[in-house]
């Protein structure tokens, strides 16, 4: 439950994955299964054991180096371009939050995206999901060099929001990341769907139409 106290909201901060755009890692594992000798259920175990993803999502290695190393881990034999396509199959085509809601909110509030993501995924998202245009600032882990729930990424989001932390409404689907936002002074709530989101916004006097 939110501990929100009535005040003025000046900026809206949104997580990306499973808030704005749905993703399902099993789609990616099935896609990779078709180009490597390992079954889909084994692929996430191999990826986790390699510990390649967190440094990549913090921007510590390039996309090309990540591709090269993961090809070794999974015994992949695909081009870099093919790998980028396969790595991005996790995303579902239809956004979770409607374009109409984002358009309405952006008319009145500064909008900030705050996401743990990587270069390959975000380039794909920018090219396939027009809703990204509604955000005035993009706070991405691979550019900031920190992942939620580290304080650094929230502090950069607050800086880009151009207001005080308590004037920022933030929603994320992962409770640990919501708590990280609250620790940094944000008015943060867990995302459970658009209907619940609209209810939280209306409680704060934020029009949703």
Q: Which fold has domain 25-89?
A: DNA polymerase; domain 1 (1.10.150)
25-89 and 11-23+94-203 share a CATH fold: no
| CB 149 within 8 Å of CB 49 | no
Give how far the C-alpha of residue 190 lies from the chain's centroid of Cα atoms, to the nearest Å. Answer: 14
β-bridge partners, 139: 114
pLDDT at 2: 44
pLDDT at 6: 56
Residue boundaries of the structural domains of the chain: 11-23+94-203, 25-89
- Threshold 0.85, pTM exceeds: yes
Averages of pLDDT over each 10 residues, the chain, 209 residues: 64 98 96 96 97 98 98 97 97 96 97 98 96 97 98 98 97 98 98 98 93
Q: Which fold has domain 11-23+94-203?
A: Rossmann fold (3.40.50)
β-bridge partners, 169: 12, 187
């Amino acid at each position: 439950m939110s501990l929100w106290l009535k005040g003025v909201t000046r900026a809206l901060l949104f997580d990306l994955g499973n808030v704005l755009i749905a993703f399902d890692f099993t789609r990616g594992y099935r896609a990779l299964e078709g180009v490597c000798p390992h079954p889909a259920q084994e692929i996430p175990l191999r990826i986790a054991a390699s510990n390649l993803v967190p440094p990549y999502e913090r921007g510590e290695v390039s996309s090309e180096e990540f591709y090269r190393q993961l090809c070794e881990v999974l015994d992949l034999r695909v081009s870099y371009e093919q790998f980028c396509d396969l790595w991005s199959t996790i995303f579902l085509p239809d956004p979770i939050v409607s374009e109409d809601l984002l358009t309405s909110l952006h008319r009145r509030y500064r909008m900030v995206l705050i996401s743990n993501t990587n270069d390959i995924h975000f380039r794909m998202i920018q090219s396939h999901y027009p809703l990204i245009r509604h955000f005035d600032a993009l706070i991405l882990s691979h550019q900031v060099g920190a992942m939620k729930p580290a304080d650094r990424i929230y502090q950069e989001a607050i800086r880009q929001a151009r207001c005080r932390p308590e004037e920022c409404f933030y929603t994320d689907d992962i409770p640990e990341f919501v708590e990280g936002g609250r620790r940094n002074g944000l008015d943060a709530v867990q995302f459970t769907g658009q209907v619940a989101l609209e209810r939280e916004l209306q409680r704060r006097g934020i029009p949703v139409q």
